[in-house]
Every structure is written in C-alpha cells, then in structure tokens.
Structure 1
C-alpha cells in the first residue's frame, strides 16, 4: 500500500514538474518579443479641475512585437494621447516608436518601432476561436514597472460585447485570473504554444489592483480589426455628441464629434484643430467643452456612431493626393479646412 501511495505522489510531482518546466521554456521562447512602452502623453484633467490647460504625463505599458519590421500591438489607452514613445526591449536596448492606428472602441492600437534588434522574432497570433475555458495561459508585462514579469493562470471566461453599429463586429474579450496590474496593459496573453490569445485591456477591481478579473482583447477581434486595414492615426481624441448634448451646448446642427484633445505633431494638429478647455461631468463621463466640433467629412455628416465609423472606413479608400474637405464648428461659427492625403 505504501508503495502505491509513494508512486502516486511521485507521479503527481512529476506532472507538476513537467508543467513548470514547460512554462519556463515557453517564457524563455517568447519573452524577448514582449516590450515595455514608456509613454509621454497629454494628461487628462484632474478630478475636480474645471479649467483645463494642456500638460504632459508619463505612463508605462507593454506591447507585443508582431512583425520583423517593428509593428507592435498594444492597448489604445496606453498610446492614444502619446507625444513620445520609448520602446524598451528585454536586452536593454531602446528605440523610439510612433502610433500607426488606434481603435478606441476596442482599446487596441498598433505602433511602429524605429529599430528592432536582429535576434528578436515576432510573435504569432493564435487562430480564431482556438481556445477553451479552463486552459492554462500566461501573461508577460511590466506591472508597476517590474520588467518582464510572468503571471500564470487560466482562461476563465469568454465575453462578447454588444455589436458595434454599422460594422457587424462583435468585440470579444477573454477573461483570466492571471495577475494583471498597472503596466501590464497592452501586453500579450499566451497559450501554451506560445501564441498570442489576446492583448491585455483592463481589470475589474475596486482597489485598482488585481483580484483575478482581467480581460484581454481576443485574437479573433484583433485579426478582424487588422484585416480592415485601419486608418492612419489622426491625433483627435473625440466625444460623439448626442442630440441632447448638442442642444445643451447650442450646437444648431444637433450632431457632431466634439474634439477633446489634439495630439501635437499629428494630422489633426497640422490642420489646426483645437481641443477643449472646460472640464465638466455629463453623468459620470468627464467631457472637455470648448473644442471644435467636426460636422462633416467630404459632405457626409457625422450624426451617430454608425455614420462616424462608416466615414472612418471610407478614409482607407482615398489615394495619395486626394483632397478631403472637413466642415466644423468653432465658437458658433462654421468653418472649413481640407486635408491632402500624403
């Protein structure tokens, strides 16, 4: 009887050792392709701040190298307001990065690194729906600035959001109990084949620290967005006005995109658009008033989310040298500018 018990315990120990060894090998194989993102960005208004003036803030995130040419997937909230991005690799080498595109609705972004060390291989995305609740996963990132930290857990759930109007896209997030904290945002979650199952987006927590409710943008959703050939980052941080909001700020058109902030050096900045300077709360949502309101792009009004997304999709159809006319409202006066596609 003792021999049976000892053999059983030895078998359990061996299985755990094998699993631990597999995680170690997996970590070693993918870790170099995970990057830290040190971001200087336009700061959001502070709680209770009424008069807003543009200032800078520093933040930290993570990213996943997905091409030899330096393309890096990350979360939109990490880089959408970035004025400067420093990409740090595991060997300590650093390079600059810039935003290629941002999808705020999904919380996904792509950036471009200026240089990539020769010995780093790009990561692969897992196949769509090639995952199951209960499988083991691992997350690599820089929680609280602690570089290349590993956390291991399980895929706890599959959460589909409401369809995005006018696109047919149903955003899917994968839930995990692997530890995720500030600094993990934008980093990859892997399956045990070393493929990216998702990009870390957010956690649910009353304290702001991990309690085992983390969510990543699924590989399915990532691939669908990338397949649409997202438009170039404009540098606008917008707020889509409802009819009631438009009426409240005396916008006679009753619709439009209210510009919250403009990222320096971007297309929006070069076109001269202005952000807001009066910080208010609409319900629980902070909104900056006083900025320009985009009304039409090439004669097509921005009346709701579906029309805004449709216009965003149309921008990919323009060719170099094409002229896009933008109609907007500034301090009650209708103005017009144009953008020549470069």
Structure 2
C-alpha cells in the first residue's frame, strides 16, 4: 500500500470516529436528563470480632432512568430492602421514592416518586430482540458516584434462559464491553437511536473491577415483567433454602424461604414478618439466621419447582393494598399464620 492510500485510509477512519463521536454526543444530550442517581439507606446485620451480631445502617447508590412523570426503572439489587430511598435528578432536585415491584433473577425493579417530576425528560424501551452482536451501545450512570458518566462499547453476546411462565427464573441479559462499575447498576444501556435496550445489572470479574464483560437485563423482559406483569414488592430479602439447608434448620418440608431482612413500612412489615438477627455461614454461604422461614403463600407450599413458583407468582401478582393475603412461617420451632 503506497503512502497516499495509507493517508486516505487513516483519514477515513478518523472521519468515521468523528461522526460516531458527534452522533453519541447529540444522543447523550437528549437522553441524559432522564438518567437519575438513586441513594438508599438499609439496615444490615454485621458480626464483629467477638462473633456478636449488630444492626448497622449502610448507605448505597445506583442509577436508574425515568420512563414517566413518576416511574423509574433500576436494578433490583440497588433497592433490596431500603429504609430510605431518594432520587437525584440532573437539575439537582431530590425526590423521595418507594419500591413498587422487583424481580431478583432478572435484576430489575420499578420505583415510584413521592410526587411527579415537573417537565420531565423520559426515555422509552427499544426492541432488545433486534439487538445484534457487534452493535454499538452506550451506558449512562453514576460509576463510583460520578454522576451522568458515559461509557460506550459494543454488544458482545447474550446470556439467556428461555422465557416461560415462571417469572422468578427468567433470565435475558445482553453482554457488552462498555465499561460498567459500581454505581452503574440500574442505569440504562442505549442504542444509537436513544432507546433503552438494557438495564445495567452486573459484571464478570476476577478482580472486583471491570474487565470487559458486563451484563444488562434486556428491555423486552423488563417491559414485560415491570409494566405488564408487575408483582408487588413485599419488602423482604429472601433466601430460597435448599433441601440440605432445610434439614440443617429442621424445617418441616423440603424447601422454604428464609427471611433475611424486612423493610419498615412494607407489606411484610405490616404482616409482622421477622427478619434475621445473627450472621452465620452454612456450606460456605453467608446467611442471616433467626428470622422467619416462609412455608406457604395463601396455602401454596413453597417448593423450588417451576409449578410451585408459578402458583406463588399468580398469588402475588393479584395482591393489592385491599387484598386478603396470608402466609405460614416457621418461627422458633412453631408454624404460625400471618395475615395481611
């Protein structure tokens, strides 16, 4: 290749980069006001050097995005069991919010502002099924608390479990090399049309930092679960017990849900559900013991099977503030019924 061809090739590459940068800058300026920073306070159980467990308050942050005047989508792990939930907008307005619905397996959540945002900028979901490997995307969020930071990259793959009737095990993640770090969770992944095609979830890492592999829940799954099939937030952090764990804890059935924490003012809190009090390690897994173990939802026995989880989901999605709802729990060796 002669020098003229080399110069022409370099000029073409620089031109393409310049066009892409200009396009990204223009799209970013339009969608950025819809991106928010989410601050939470949670009560956690920690164990000190004397093996004494105490309750402490922890502060956490994540990202999210506005889809209407008062609804925000984020990641489920950003809003596990918040005692306090505040949303910071790009204009520095702060509005309190509450959790409406969460799906842990998909790592998505819907929260509602205490009052609507005036003159809001909102974003819409794009069709994540049309996304292809090699497509350029960009992420906006608050990595390490640095507000409204942009990172760009490409779709590098997918991690999927076929959608069925069981919303607790449905998985549909888009893999990307766009930089994702602590604080990005819950933020939007955009295509070059400014549509949200993913909700930032987690990274694959051996060091704790970003190593080129990040995942975002697909927009189609998020839309289906949060907007069309939304299940109310009960307000508890739950651990599904394995048959081995139920045997260790003397649970009178093969599975159950160990209550780790309960948020104040939530449905579970109003029902009197108790969270754990003591940290322990069972089979190399850190758990909080001493809380209730949920055995049934409205007489549906909890089991780690698709049909049981589908039945429980059908019960939960019909719960409203006026619903009659009950669970049975194992507490201090006794089975008791709690009603809502």
Structure-2-length-normalised TM-score: 0.91
Q: Distance in 1 between matches of 2:199 and 2:126?
A: 12
1:80 is displaced (CA, Å) by: 1.1
Aligned equivalent of 1:137: 137
Question: Per the alignment, do residues 195 and 47 of structure 1 end up closer, same or farther by CA in structure 2, a change over 3 Å counting?
Answer: farther
Which deviates further from its counterpart, 41-50 or 296-305? 41-50
Question: Per the alignment, do residues 243 and 9 of structure 1 end up closer, same or farther by CA in structure 2, a change over 3 Å counting?
Answer: closer
Which deviates further from its counterpart, 49-58 or 131-140? 49-58
Q: Confirm or deny: 8 A CA contact 2:105 2:171 kept in the other structure.
A: no
- Alignment of 1:172 onto 2:172: yes
Q: Confirm or deny: 8 A CA contact 1:198 1:217 kept in the other structure.
A: yes
Task: Give SS of 1:180's match.
Answer: coil
Q: Any idea what the Cα deviations from partners look like across 1:74-117, whole Å, max 9, x if unmatched?
A: 11111112111110011111111111111112111111122444
Number of corresponding residues: 338
Aligned equivalent of 1:153: 153
Question: Per the alignment, do residues 168 and 208 of structure 1 end up closer, same or farther by CA in structure 2, a change over 3 Å counting?
Answer: closer
Q: Confirm or deny: 8 A CA contact 1:165 1:305 kept in the other structure.
A: no
Q: Distance in 1 between matches of 2:169 and 2:289?
A: 31
Matched ranges for 1:179-258 at <5 A: 179-258=179-258
Q: Distance in 1 between matches of 2:336 and 2:62?
A: 38
Q: Distance in 1 between matches of 2:166 and 2:45?
A: 30
Q: Confirm or deny: 8 A CA contact 1:49 1:279 kept in the other structure.
A: no
1:262 is displaced (CA, Å) by: 0.9
Q: Confirm or deny: 8 A CA contact 1:51 1:277 kept in the other structure.
A: no
Q: Any idea what the Cα deviations from partners look like across 1:39-87, whole Å, max 9, x if unmatched?
A: 111225369885433321001100011112x111111111112111110
Aligned equivalent of 1:60: 61
Q: Confirm or deny: 8 A CA contact 1:205 1:211 kept in the other structure.
A: yes
Aligned equivalent of 1:93: 93
Q: Distance in 2 between matches of 1:335 and 1:62?
A: 39
Q: Confirm or deny: 8 A CA contact 1:50 1:278 kept in the other structure.
A: no
Aligned equivalent of 2:283: 283
Q: Distance in 2 between matches of 1:174 and 1:44?
A: 33
1:22 is displaced (CA, Å) by: 0.3
Task: Give SS of 2:317's match.
Answer: helix
Aligned equivalent of 1:123: 123
Q: Distance in 1 between matches of 2:281 and 2:275?
A: 16
Q: Distance in 1 between matches of 2:167 and 2:232?
A: 18
1:186 is displaced (CA, Å) by: 0.6
Aligned equivalent of 1:31: 32
Q: Confirm or deny: 8 A CA contact 1:164 1:170 kept in the other structure.
A: yes
Q: Distance in 2 between matches of 1:255 and 1:197?
A: 36
Question: Per the alignment, do residues 254 and 181 of structure 1 end up closer, same or farther by CA in structure 2, a change over 3 Å counting?
Answer: same
Structure 1 alignment gaps of length 5 or more: none
CA root-mean-square deviation: 2.3
1:285 is displaced (CA, Å) by: 2.1
Q: Confirm or deny: 8 A CA contact 2:297 2:315 kept in the other structure.
A: no
1:162 is displaced (CA, Å) by: 6.8
Structure 2 alignment gaps of length 5 or more: none
Task: Give SS of 2:110's match.
Answer: strand
Task: Give SS of 2:20's match.
Answer: helix
Task: Give SS of 1:90's match.
Answer: coil
Q: Confirm or deny: 8 A CA contact 2:260 2:275 kept in the other structure.
A: yes
- Alignment of 1:332 onto 2:333: yes
